[in-house]
Each structure stands twice: as C-alpha cells, then as structure tokens.
Structure 1
C-alpha cells in the first residue's frame, strides 16, 4: 500500500457560508468541489495537492464546546484537533497575523522541538493547529520515542510488524466492483 496523504477530513458545520469565509477567504484554501441538495451540502477545500478538508452542512448541528488542544476529557470522544502543515515560520506568522486581524483567538508560536506551531479555532470551534518543521529536524527519517514508559506495542519499533493481523486474501479482479455514490454529479458539472 502507498498512502498519499489525507484525501479529506470530513467535519460538520451549521453555517457553510461562515465556514467557507474562514477556510477559503481567511486561510486561502481553494473551494474545489461542492455537493448539495435540499437539507444536504458537502463542500471540499484544498489544503495541498494531496490533502483536503471537507464540511457537511447539517442545519441542526451545533458548534462543539470549545476545548483547548490536547487537554484530556472524559467520556466518549474521538477528535482533539487537526494540525495543518505549512512550509516555514513565515507561513505561521502570516496565518497568526491573519487570524488575529480577523478577531479570532490565536496562540503565540510554540516551539515543540521538532515543529513550530500556532493554535486557534474555526467558526465551528474546531480546534486547529498550523505546524512547520524545525529546520534540521525530521522525526520521519529518524523516528524517536520520547515517552519514558512507552506502551508494549510502541516498544516493538516504528516499522509495521508482520504477523499481528491475519493475511488478507486479494479480491480477484473478476469480483471487483465499484458502486455509484454521492459526488458522481461533479464530473457532469459544466462551468456556467
């Protein structure tokens, strides 16, 4: 398998216009696709050539309660924050300045040793982080475990461990089917 990035993160909003204004106009991400019908919208914004963020607009969804990035909570929970990579510190400063000028809370730039980050929230209270690499530091080329008490599975190392799951039997080509779903109408949309 060869992963290429996050095709899209699908999040929810009650106000698609405010969401587009924030992600497209303030953060400068292109709105590249939109699906919709009465009571349903699903719009996609381009983060990079491989990655997108998408939003469903649901009229009865409420913004999530504001929660600081990385602070533990109790009960059912699946998502803490999304960190979007940028090229360098100049990009972090530009994002920070733009968010601050628009009246959004934004943190100072934080040095995590391997990345520099700035934190904020979108109009839906979705916790967001923007990060760039620290020059000369690349934890992907030399993985490192800073946890003084790593879990047993983490102690097995950074590389995928064979034999931990049953081997998959490839689906024969003759049995491979792809079924139609939402979005096929995008290939038929003509520019007006």
Structure 2
C-alpha cells in the first residue's frame, strides 16, 4: 500500500458560511467541492493537492467546548486537535498574523525541536495547530524515540512489523465492485 496523505478530515459545523469565511477567506484554503440538498451540506477545502478538510453542516450541532491542545481528558473522547503543515517560518508567521488581525486567539510560536507551531481555534472551537519543519531536522528520514519508557510495541521500531495480523485474502478482480455514493453529482453531467 502507498498512502498519499489525508484525503480529507470530516468535521461538523452549524454555520457553513462562518466556516468558509475562516478557512477559505482568512486562511486561504480553496473551496473545491460542495454537496448539498435541503438539510444537508458537505463542503471540501483544499489544504494541499492531496489533502482536504471537509465540513458537514448540521443545523443542530453546537460548537464543541474549548479544550486546550494536548491536555488530557477523562471519559469518551476521540479527537484532540488538527495540525496543518505550512512550508516554513514565514508561512507560520503569516498564519499567526492573519489570525490575530481577525481577532482570533493564537499562541506564540512554539519550538518543539522538530517543528515550530502556533495554536488557535476555528469558529467551531476545533483546536487547530499550524506547524512547519525545523530546518535541518527530518524525523521522517531519521525516526527518533525519545520516550524513556516506550510501550513494548513502540520498542519494535518505526517500520511496520509483520505477523501481528492475519494475511489478507485478495479480492479477485471479477468480484471487485464499486457502489455509487454521495458526491457522484460532482462529476456526472446530466442530460438536459
């Protein structure tokens, strides 16, 4: 398998217009697709050529309670924050300046050793981080485990370890079917 990135992260908003204004108009993500019908919208914003951020508009959804990035919680929980990569420190400062000019809280630039980051929240209180690489540091090429007490599985190393899951049985080509779903209207041309 070859992964290409995050195709899209899907989140929810009750106010698609405020969400578009923030992500498209303030932060510069292109609005590349929109699906909709009464009571339903699903819009996609382009982060990079292979990565998108998507929002469902659900009229009854409420913004989540603000929660500081990375602070542990108790009870059911699935998502802490979204980090979007930017090219370099100049882009990071541009994001910080734009957020501050628009009246959004934004942290100072934080040096994590391998990335520089700023933190903020979107209009839905989704915790967001913007990060750029520290010049000369490449943990992708040179993985580092700095945890003094790593889990047993982490001690096995960076590369996928075989033998822990059953081997898949490939689906024969004659049985490979793709079923229609939401979004086909983006590419289908209807007869007029």
- Verify same fold: TM over 0.5: yes
CA deviation after TM superposition for structure 1 residue 188, in Å: 3.0
| 1:123-142 matches, cutoff 5 A | 123-142=123-142
The whole-number CA distance in structure 2 between the counterparts of 1:47 and 1:124 is 18
For residue 93 of structure 2, give the secondary structure of its aligned residue in structure 1: helix
Partner of 1:85: 85
For residue 52 of structure 1, give the secondary structure of its aligned residue in structure 2: strand
Partner of 1:39: 39
Partner of 2:51: 51
The whole-number CA distance in structure 2 between the counterparts of 1:29 and 1:189 is 26
For residue 92 of structure 1, give the secondary structure of its aligned residue in structure 2: helix
Task: Flag structure 1 segments of 5+ consecutive residues without an equivalent.
Answer: none
The whole-number CA distance in structure 1 between the counterparts of 2:146 and 2:137 is 15
The whole-number CA distance in structure 1 between the counterparts of 2:189 and 2:85 is 31
Partner of 1:115: 115
The whole-number CA distance in structure 2 between the counterparts of 1:122 and 1:132 is 19
Structure 1 runs of 4+ aligned residues shifted over 3 Å read: none
Distance 1:41 1:189, change over 3 A: farther
Partner of 1:94: 94
Q: Deviations over 1:88-128 (max 9, x none)?
A: 00000000000000000000000000000000000000000
The whole-number CA distance in structure 1 between the counterparts of 2:43 and 2:134 is 33
In the alignment, structure 1 residue 147 sits paired with structure 2 residue 111: no
Q: Deviations over 1:128-177 (max 9, x none)?
A: 00000000000000000011100010001100000000000000000000
| 1:2-81 matches, cutoff 5 A | 2-81=2-81
For residue 123 of structure 1, give the secondary structure of its aligned residue in structure 2: coil
Q: How many residues align?
A: 190
CA deviation after TM superposition for structure 1 residue 189, in Å: 6.0
What TM-score do the two structures reach when normalised by structure 2?
A: 0.98
The whole-number CA distance in structure 2 between the counterparts of 1:85 and 1:98 is 16
